[in-house]
A = this chain, B = another copy of it.
Amino acid sequence: MSLLKRLQLLLCGVVLVCQTVLADEGMWLFNDLPLGLLKQRYGFEPTKEWSEHLMKSSVRFNVGGSGSFISSSGLVLTNHHVGSDTLAKLSTPERNIMEAGYLAKTQSEELKAPDLELNQLMQIRDVTAEVKGAVTAGMTPQQAVAARRAIIARIEKAALDETGLKSTVTTLYGGGRYHLYMYKKYTDVRLVWAPETAIAFFGGDADNFEYPRFCLDATIFRVYENDKPAKIEHFLKWSAAGPEEKDVAFVSGHPGRTSRILTVDALKYQRDTAQPASLTNLRRAEIVLQQYGLRGRENARRAREDLFGVQNSRKARLGMLAGLQDPLVMADKVAAEQKLLAAVNADEKLKPLAAAWAVISDITKKRTEMLKKGVSVNSSLYGIALQLVQMAEEDRLPSEQRLPEFAEAGRESLLQQLYSEAPIYADLDQVLLADSISKTLEQRGFDDPLCQQILAGKGPAERAAELVRGTKLADVAFRKQLAAGGLAAIEKSDDPLIQLARVINPEARRIRRITEELDEQDRQAYASVAEAQFAVLGTSVYPDATFTLRLAFGPVIGYEQDGQQIPAWTTMGGAYQHEEAHAGQTDYVLPKSWKAAESKLNKSIPFNFVSTADIIGGNSGSPVVNRAGELVGLIFDGNIQSLSGNYVYTDRQSRSVSVNSGAIREALRVVYGATALDAELGR
């Protein structure tokens, strides 16, 4: 965006800037909140009830996002781009919900998601001693993987049996702590309202991760139990006032993954090897999906969800890499590590921990080697085939010896995915399969024996066509029948994708085994790094993100960029000016509903706002609440400067971006005429 355009945009919003920004780093555990910090910095002392209510009002989406309960009858608020996986699955060429939006006028019109699962965190237990105790000093990495897997499966199964809750052991501090998370599970989730993509993702890929923004990135679902709206005890009330400038905003959500504990050598591996490799794969996928989508409108519709995901990741990873390639960022990391290591080496008791750094450095070298010889064969149908093959094999073992996804505690969630009736588009799948076979040839070399087996005498495109044409795996009944027949059925199946999966399976398992052993060695080493940090920096260190519930906070506040003051919020009226400034560009056309409502809309209502709260991918859909625990916003993005937050937090320009809760209500009432829904939300 040119500086001129930026300037024009600035005039659309209220300019509220403060020079003194406080450092609000941290994605805090709900069972270890930084009470002292909150009191000291914001004079705020959350009660036990305040935090328990916020925790139980928060929701995790299995597709990788966050959300919150917003009514006693099961309404759930999240982002459009978190709901979009479901919106795509519910869409057809004739009823394109993704593009046109949706409003259920009555409960009977609420549309059941084919495979969405929501989790509500009920309880956390520290199981560090049990998990660490199962792995002893003399074990090989392979034995350690097995021992840790077994104890975790036992803990999870026992908790499930005891409480009926979905129970998952989470590795924290890279292996320093283990906590058991127990979730209430909702699998009957129905769509209530979604706006048009044109306003949910206004500005498209160009505006993604940018600010100022003008997006109604919101969608409302409802959870059901026994075919009736679920009764929800903990849900968020809407704030009448909206975000208050400079006051602290609290974000309760599920940041997916950060890597702030990484040692300098591990960061260099990310910078020089892992991130560039991921970006190469993402750019490739992006072009393939674009090319498929260019063939026609229906193709574009089919590819849209995958394409959005790939573009989003590409832009996010470019931001992360930019952070790593900034000499000043790395210099800070080097200095911090040197300081920590100096303290460790100066203390006889801590000194043995220093060995972990060399172990981690060595692991990165092994990972670099692993990257060179992968098997990239990939498509939805192939993924199903491989899962069926591996499930048949794993089910012969006791639950605790299985690969974790096949253990008993997670079986229900697994089968909901495996037997989903969501559409699979064979033509798209074929394109992805052909490209991934081609990629595998490039990675392993064409003359590699496995490559020759995969090709079976044909070129990648021809082979993919033959495989997709021949498979029956698009039929859920066929999958169930194969699974019911166990390994014998798999072994005698003449389905070409099952046969291909059997050919690749040994190598896929070998690669996975080595990767898991490296992960295990990393866990043990980072447990030492974490111990060193606890010892030197105190226990007030928060763990890296793990797609589990965290609390982040920080003031609603603008920032300076290229000499310009960027306002803390934009207004709903600004959306119309943003459209005008980008006249003629496909992604900047407001939907008809917004044009029709223009004269009735209160344009001065804040639309999107920023705060310094520490978030990352996975936080999408997180509720933003005020001190009173009332909903003031809905996280949907971070600005471009926030992306290096994967490795290091700064609050100079890094901001989380939210939809103002008041803007959602104004749109529901004025643009979408959703009076019943609006009434249910109260206030």
- Which one, B272, B442, B455, B584, contacts A276 given CB within 8 A? B442
A179 within 8 A of B: no
A14 within 8 A of B: no
A325 within 8 A of B: yes
Provide the bound-state CA to CA distance between A287 and B290, in Å: 11
Check if B586 sits within 8 Å of A327, measured CB to CB: no
Contact partners of A459 in chain B: CB under 8 A = 322, 325-329
A206 within 8 A of B: yes
> Taking the nearest CB of chain B, how far is it from the CB of A562, in angstroms?
9
Instruction: Select the residue from A325, A446, A460, A587 with max chain B CB neighbours within 10 A.
Output: A325
- Which one, B272, B427, B442, B457, contacts A272 given CB within 8 A? B442
Provide the bound-state CA to CA distance between A583 and B204, in Å: 22
- Which one, B286, B296, B585, contacts A2 given CB within 8 A? B296
Check if B327 sits within 8 Å of A296, measured CB to CB: no
> Taking the nearest CB of chain B, how far is it from the CB of A308, in angstroms?
14
A5 within 8 A of B: yes
Contact partners of A296 in chain B: CB under 8 A = 1-2, 5, 582, 585
- Judged by DSSP, the binding face of A is helix
Q: Which residues of A (271-288) have their CB < 8 Å from a CB of B?
A: 271-272, 276, 279-280, 283-284, 286-287
Check if B2 sits within 8 Å of A295, measured CB to CB: yes
Please judge, given known A-B contacts A287-B283, A314-B287, whether A457 and B295 are in contact too, CB under 8 Å.
no
Q: Which residues of A (306-339) have their CB < 8 Å from a CB of B?
A: 314, 321-322, 324-330
Contact partners of A280 in chain B: CB under 8 A = 280, 283-284
A31 within 8 A of B: no
A205 within 8 A of B: yes
Provide the bound-state CA to CA distance between A587 and B296, in Å: 10
Interface string of A593-606 (1 = CB under 8 A from B): 00000000000000
A373 within 8 A of B: no
Q: Which residue of B lies closest to A207 (CB)?
A: B294
Check if A206 sits within 8 Å of B294, measured CB to CB: yes
Q: Which residue of B lies closest to A584 (CB)?
A: B297
Instruction: Select the residue from A280, A314, A427, A461 with max chain B CB neighbours within 10 A.
Output: A280
Check if A272 sits within 8 Å of B446, measured CB to CB: yes
Interface string of A573-598 (1 = CB under 8 A from B): 00000000011111100000000000
Please judge, given known A-B contacts A325-B459, A459-B326, whether A585 and B297 are in contact too, CB under 8 Å.
yes
Provide the bound-state CA to CA distance between A183 and B286, in Å: 44
Q: Which residues of A (1-19) have their CB < 8 Å from a CB of B?
A: 1-2, 5
Q: A2-B295, A279-B284, A297-B584 are in contact. List 15 more A-B contacts (CB 8 A).
A: A5-B295, A205-B294, A206-B294, A272-B442, A272-B446, A280-B283, A283-B287, A296-B585, A322-B459, A322-B460, A322-B461, A324-B446, A325-B446, A325-B459, A327-B457
Contact partners of A438 in chain B: CB under 8 A = 321-322, 325
Q: Which residues of A contact B (CB under 8 A)?
A: 1-2, 5, 204-206, 268, 271-272, 276, 279-280, 283-284, 286-287, 291, 294-297, 300, 314, 321-322, 324-330, 427, 438, 441-442, 445-447, 455, 457-462, 582-587
Q: Which residue of B lies closest to A293 (CB)?
A: B206
- Which one, B204, B271, B297, B300, contacts A446 given CB within 8 A? B271
Q: Which residue of B lies closest to A280 (CB)?
A: B280
Check if A291 sits within 8 Å of B206, measured CB to CB: yes
Contact partners of A445 in chain B: CB under 8 A = 272
Q: List 29 A-B contacts (CB under 8 A).
A: A1-B295, A1-B296, A2-B295, A2-B427, A5-B295, A206-B295, A271-B446, A276-B442, A280-B280, A280-B283, A280-B284, A283-B283, A283-B284, A283-B286, A287-B287, A297-B584, A297-B585, A321-B438, A322-B438, A322-B459, A324-B446, A325-B459, A326-B459, A326-B462, A327-B455, A327-B458, A328-B457, A329-B459, A586-B586
Contact partners of A455 in chain B: CB under 8 A = 327
Which 9 pairs show the lowest CB-CB distances between chains A and B?
Answer: A206-B294, A326-B459, A276-B442, A283-B283, A283-B287, A272-B445, A297-B584, A1-B295, A325-B459
> Taking the nearest CB of chain B, how far is it from the CB of A25, in angstroms?
21
Contact partners of A284 in chain B: CB under 8 A = 279-280, 283
Instruction: Select the residue from A204, A447, A457, A459 with max chain B CB neighbours within 10 A.
Output: A459
- Which one, B5, B294, B324, contacts A204 given CB within 8 A? B294
Provide the bound-state CA to CA distance between A326 and B284, in Å: 20
> Taking the nearest CB of chain B, how far is it from the CB of A373, in angstroms?
13
Provide the bound-state CA to CA distance between A205 and B446, in Å: 29
Provide the bound-state CA to CA distance between A429 and B386, in Å: 46
Contact partners of A291 in chain B: CB under 8 A = 205-206
Provide the bound-state CA to CA distance between A330 and B283, in Å: 28
Provide the bound-state CA to CA distance between A555 and B329, in Å: 64
> Taking the nearest CB of chain B, how far is it from the CB of A76, in angstroms?
32
Check if B441 sits within 8 Å of A325, measured CB to CB: yes
Contact partners of A427 in chain B: CB under 8 A = 2
